[in-house]
Chain A
Amino acid sequence: MIAAQLAVQAGANVYTTASPRNTEFVQSLGKDITIINYREEKWWDMNLTDFDAVIDTTGEEKAWENSSNVLKPDGSFVTIASFDVGFDPNGHPPRKYAAFYCLCNKPSAQDTIAKGLEECTLKIPLVEPAYPFTEQGAKDMLTAQAKGASL
């Protein structure tokens, strides 16, 4: 979701999948964001075309394959959770970038994100409670996690 917010701030025309329970939060990130309810709609089956970038944050099944008609010829595909596309950014010409991406973190990037959150130019949904670092706390967290995504 932070990637989508950064894209909005850069002036991009942003589409994102979301489940119904997160629709309100996602729309609050930008009124022009187009939200695709992934429980009812298939993004690759909606005649979406000419995209400059598709970013897969969850390792969605066949995301790379399905993005082929959505992206423009030199559009980029990035995933942080699937190896289907391979590891060479230049491995799928004319795609500008098409690969698994692994973070190489820097404190300067951490500082930028923290500043954005502190100044409310970025938002994250902290909808679940924090669990104590105990055996019971870990069990409760895993139980909650089974019902939906946790941070």
Chain B
Amino acid sequence: MTPMLLNSPSEPDASQFPIGTNVFGVQWGQGKHDEDDKPCGGTFAQYVAVPTSRLSIKPDGLSHEAAAASSLVGTTALRLHSNVLMLRRVIKFLSLVGRHP
């Protein structure tokens, strides 16, 4: 998701996100973020509430479309490599991206 921050009423650490900041991030569809108990509820909406601890400031050189399209898949890929596969030891790598009929 890639919104523009409209309001940050209650977050104690929200000062780095002035109102109107272009931000993006990953928002879960159901349940909760892992670190706190704040509920969240999907992205298919005009307005969503997200903890600022989960937001990144969108670089000017990156479009909202690219930020939205890459945030979930990109962070998944990155963390797969850095936390799961430890890629420096991987020599042969097969990526499956399509379904077979």
Contacts and interface: CB of A to CB of B under 8 A. Distances in A.
Measured as residues with beta carbon below 8 angstroms from the partner, the interface class of chain B is: 35 or more
Interface residues of A, number: 62
B98 A115 contact: no
A58 B98 contact: yes
Contacts of A76: 84-85, 90
A85 interface: no
B73 to A, nearest CB: 6
Interface of B: 24-26, 34, 46, 53-56, 58-59, 61-62, 65-81, 84-85, 87-100
> What are the 6 tightest A-B residue pairs by CB atom distance, in nearest-first order?
A113-B74, A3-B77, A151-B69, A110-B56, A16-B95, A2-B77
Interface of A: 1-4, 6-7, 10-19, 38, 42-43, 48, 50-61, 63, 67, 70, 76, 78, 80, 89, 97, 101, 103-107, 109-118, 122, 124, 126, 130, 133, 151
